[in-house]
Amino acid sequence: MSVKQVSQNTEVDERLAALMTNTNALRAISTAVEGTIGPKGLDTMLVDKFGDVVITNDGLTILNLMEVNHPAARILINAAKSQQEQVGDGTTTTTILAGTLVASGLDQVVRGVPVARVIEGIRAGVQRALTFIREQARPVHSLDDPLLTRVALVAGRGHGDIAELVVEDARLTGLEKLQDPFFRLADTVVAEVGAESTVFSGTIISKDRMNREMPRELHDARVLVVDDALEPEALEDEALGTEAGFQRYLALREEFRRHLAKLVALGVQLILVDRGVDDEAEEILTEAGIMVIQRVSHKELVRTAEHCGARLIKRSGLRRDVADLARCLGTAGRVVVDEKLEQVRILAGGGKPLATLLVGAATDEVVGERERIAKDAAAAVQAAVTGGIVPGGGSIELAAARHVEGLRNEVRGMAAYGVDCVVAALQRPFSQIIANAGFNPLEKLGDVLAAQAERSSVSLAVDCDSGEVADMMELGVVDPALVKLHALKAAAEVAEAILRIDTIIKKKEEGGGPPRGGLDSLKT
C-alpha cells in the first residue's frame, strides 16, 4: 500500500490505494454472504472463541456475528442493517449489489474514468432501474391472494409450514394493520424451544405467574397493566430513622393496601407489572384469586394493553377513584398459563385484534434459525402487501439491467461507464443464484437475456431445479417490490460513499499519545 507521511503521528493513504483497500473490504463482506442466496444457497457456520456455534444462511445474522474491523466494511453492514429495519428482508441482496457496484466502479477508475463521472452514471442508472421496478410491481389487494403464500415461501427459504403460518398470521392481523407504517408483522413472531408451531389471535407473555397458587386459567378477565412497580412509595433510609418518617412509612403501606382492596373490588383478575411486586401485595392478590405477572418486557406490556384495550398506568394511577380506574382496565376472553413453556397466553382481547406466531423446535440452535426464517417471511409478506410484488429469481433485476443499458446513449460522456456499473450490479444476484444452484452463470445469463428480449417478458429466469428458462410468476417465485427498491437504493448510497473516499487518514487518539499501528490495522 502506498502511504504518504503527513506528520509524525499521521498516515495518509493515496487515492487509488484507498479505493482499492475499501473495495477489497466490501468484496470480503459480499463473499461471506453470497453463497447463501437463492433456493440452493448453503448455510454458514459462525464459531466464537468459546466454541459456541450459529448455523444460518440469513445474511444479516452472518454480518452481525462475523468479526469486522475495516471501516468501509462497517458502512456496508450498516446499510444491510438499515435494509432489515426498513423492510425486514433483502440484506443479502443489498450486500451483493453494493459489493458489485463498488468493484465495477473501481475497475472503471483504474481504466481512467474520473470518479465523478462514474458516480454520475451510477446515479442515473439506479434512478432508471428504480422507476422500472416500481412500474412492474403488481399490487396485492387481498390477503387471500395465493401469491402471498409464495412470497412467504421464497423469503422463508422453502419452509412451507412456516409460510402457511405467516400468511395466517397476516390474515388474523388484518390489511389495515399491515399497512400501518409503525407496525411490524415480524414482531408478532415468538420462538420457544419445545413449543408446537402455531398461530393464534392474541398475544404471549414470556413469563409465568408469580406463584403456583394463582389461577392457571381465566375467563372474561378484567386486565390491569402497570408500567411501574406494584409497591408502596419508597422512602429514603434516613427518613425511616425518624419518628415522622416511620409514621409516613406506615401511612404509605396502609394507603397501598387500600389500593389493592380497590383492585379486588373492581374484579380485576389479571395484573401485568413492568417491575417487581411487593411481598404483601403478592399475598393479598393471591388470596383474592388474581393472576399477577411481574417484570414483563415493555414491548409485551404495550402489545397486551393494545390487545385488551387497557391503558398503561403508573403506581400513582392507583390513587384514582374507582370509576376512573375502571376506565383504565382492559378485558381478555381467556388467559391460559403454559407451565411447561413458562408462558401466559392472552386471547380474545377487548381492544385491537392482534395475532401471534409461535415457532418451536427441539434445540436452541434450530429454534433460533426458524425464528429468523419466520421473521423474514413475515417481513416479506407485509412488504408485499404495502408495495406489491415483482417476479423473483433475479428476473426483475435482469429486466431492469436491460432497461438501464438503453441509458448509455442518453448520458453525457464518460458517465456511460457508471451506467455499466449499475448493469453489472443488477446482473449479479441472478448470476450468484445460478452459481449456487450448480449451473454456469455466463451461459444461463445469456439464455435468459435473449429469452426476455425475444418474448418481451420481465419475469423470465432459470428454474434452479431443471436449469431451464422459466417464467417466475408462473412458478410462483415472487418477491416484494419494496425489498428490491430499498436494496438497490441502499447499495447505491454505499457505493457512492465508498467511491468518493479519496483519502484515508488515521485519527489521532484522544489522549494525544502516539497512535498504535498504521493503516495496516484497517483489515477485515
Whole-number Å distance between alpha carbons of 118 and 501? 13
What is the predicted pLDDT for the residue at 32? 87
| Whole-structure pTM value | 0.81
Residues in CB range of 281: below 8 A, 6 or more apart: 230, 231, 256, 260, 292
C-alpha grid cell for residue 147?
401469491
Residues in CB range of 331: below 8 A, 6 or more apart: 220, 221, 222, 223, 308, 309, 349, 350
Q: Hey, what CATH topology would domain 3-138+390-514 get?
A: GROEL; domain 1 (1.10.560)
Select from 150, 165, 149 the least CA-distant residue to 359.
165
What is the predicted pLDDT for the residue at 495? 93
How confident is the model over 384-420, as pLDDT tens digits? 999 999 999 999 999 999 999 999 888 888 999 999 9
Q: Hey, what CATH topology would domain 198-361 get?
A: GroEL (3.50.7)
DSSP string, 82-149: HHHHHTSS-HHHHHHHHHHHHHHHHHHHHTT--HHHHHHHHHHHHHHHHHHHHHHPBP---TT-HHHH
- Flag whether pLDDT at 45 surpasses 70: yes
How confident is the model over 465-503, as pLDDT tens digits? 999 999 999 999 999 999 999 999 999 999 999 999 877
Q: Which residue has cell 499519545?
A: 513
Domain boundaries, the chain: 3-138+390-514, 198-361
Mean pLDDT of 208-224: 95
Distances (CA, A) of 344 to 186, 220, 358, 510: 20, 15, 12, 50
What is the predicted pLDDT for the residue at 524? 42
Percent of the chain surpassing pLDDT 90? 62
Helix, strand, or coil (residue 384): helix
Whole-number Å distance between alpha carbons of 23 and 35? 19
How confident is the model over 57-74, as pLDDT tens digits? 778 888 888 888 888 889
- Flag whether pLDDT at 356 surpasses 80: yes
